[in-house]
Amino acid sequence: MTEEKEILTVSPGVQTDKTEFNPEEAYEKSKFALETENLTVTFNGREAISDINSKFRKHTITAIIGPSGCGKSTFLRSLNFMHDLTPGAEVSGSIKIHGKDISEYDMTDVRRRVGMVFQKPNPFPTMTIYDNVAAGLTLHKRQSRKILDETVERSLRLAGLWEETKDRLKVSAMALSGGQQQRLCIARTLAINPEIVLFDEPTSALDPISTSKIEETLYMLKKDYTIIIVTHNMQQASRLSDYTSFFYLGKLIEHSKTRTVFTAPKNKLTEEYVIGKFG
């Protein structure tokens, strides 16, 4: 609770006006892990999201909500070049990671800084639990056994999976339950030590107990990571996040502190969505 208060007092809202410049804002800026400016994604010329201006403060959790098809995943996936694989997809605008433009990073470097956990658990089926967690490291470059062992343990602990798997690290990852697989995927992402972790509906395919375990994990991760999570679950958004972005028809309608969004939204659409009038 104290932590949350701190954040609330430190952050004076993110809805800033870009045109005016003041030193205080420049200072603030360094606190942003990720910023987007006029971020637009088109699929074969059709806009899926347009002109998203958004900033994500370090060590916070931001929830992205909005009705199905409004572009949440599209937005998330543009942050680590995931649209690369999609023929016909074009991303334009600008993305800054820690104040530096994304084009100045190497692509694989971006992906290592901006990790991603997907909706459906997707462990590598041919690999053991251990190899899954270590994959990001071993397939990047040669690593000593010791470093690997340490990283695997640390990541599994962070993901809250260590106790359940420490005796069977050499077992195929497919032997785990769905919830465990998802936590394994979280561990796999944490193992490459990203700064920002994107979650695209990470719990929508899971049972309530697995969900609450993952929520706990996310809450703990906030200390060290910046987290953006897409969710359809309003309770989850309000429980977990510091900020909430509301997307509608490919536009960012509102981005405010979670409390504001859920208690006194500035936009009528947000209000209607949050109280369940549509979506």
Partner 1 sequence: MTDYYSMIKNNSRGRKLKSRVMLFLCVFAAMLAILPLVYIFFYTTIQGASSLNLEFFTELPKPVGETGGGMANAIAGTAILVGLGSIFGIPVGILAGIYVTEYSKNMFANIIKFVTDVLSGIPSIIIGIFAYGLIVIPMQRFSAYAGGFALGLLMIPTITRITEEMLKLVPHNLREAALALGIPRWKTTIRIVLRTASGGIITGILLAVARAAGETAPLLFTSFGNSFWSSSLDSPMASIPVQIFNYAISPYDEWHRKAWAGAFVLISLVFIVSLIVRLATRNKYSQSA
Partner 2 sequence: MPDIEAKERKIIKSTRKLSDILFENATFLFALLIAAIVIYIFYEMFMDSAESREKFGFGFITSLNWDSVRGEYGAMTFIYGTVVSSVIALIIALPVSIGVAVFLTEIANSITRSAVSFLIEILAAIPSIIFGFWGIYVLAPFMRTVIQPSVQSVFGFIPIFGGSGAGFGLLTAGIILAIMITPIITAITRDVLKAIPVSQREAAYALGATKWEAIKMALLNAKSGILGATVLGLGRAVGETMAVTMVIGNKAQIKESLFEPAYSMASVIANEFAEASGTLHISALIEVGLILFGVTFIINSFARLLIYSFTKKAQTR
Ligand X SMILES: Nc1ncnc2c1ncn2[C@@H]1O[C@H](COP(=O)(O)OP(=O)(O)OP(=O)(O)O)[C@@H](O)[C@H]1O
Q: Which residues bind Mg ion (CB under 5 A)?
A: 73
Choose from partner 1, partner 2, ligand X, none: what does 73 bind? Cβ within 5-8 Å by kind. Answer: ligand X
177 contacts partner 1 (rule: CB under 8 A): no
Which CB, 110 or 134, lies closer to partner 2? 110
- Judged by beta carbon, residue 227 or residue 253, the one nearer partner 1 is 227
Show the tokens assigned to 29.
Answer: 């800026």
Helix ranges (DSSP H) in 63-221: 72-78, 107-113, 129-138, 145-158, 162-165, 178-191, 208-221
- DSSP state letters, 112-138: HHEEEE-SS----TTSBHHHHHHHHHH
Exposure b/e, 46-62, CB count within 10 A at least 16 = b: ebbbbebbbbbbebbbb
Alpha-carbon distances of 124 from 41, 174, 227, rounded to whole Å: 29, 8, 24
Min separation Cβ 149 and ligand X, Å: 37
Number of residues located near partner 2, criterion CB under 8 A: 17
Residues 197 and 116: beta-carbon distance below 8 Å: yes
Report the alpha-carbon distance of residue 54 to residue 40 in Å, rounded. Answer: 12
Per-residue binder mask for partner 1 (CB under 8 A), 178-207, x = binder: -------x--xx--x---------------
Return the residue of 3, 104, 109, 216 that touches partner 1, per CB under 8 A: 109
Closest to ligand X by CB, 14 or 48:
48
| Chain residues in the site for ligand X (CB under 6 A) | 43, 48, 66, 68-74, 86
User: Segment 38-77, which members bind partner 1 (CB under 8 A)?
Assistant: none
HSE-up (13 A, CA, CB side) for residue 265: 18
CB of 38 to partner 2, least distance (A): 8
The residues that touch partner 1, with contacts defined as CB under 8 A, are: 80-82, 84-85, 87, 108-112, 115-116, 118, 120, 122-126, 135-136, 139-140, 185, 188-189, 192
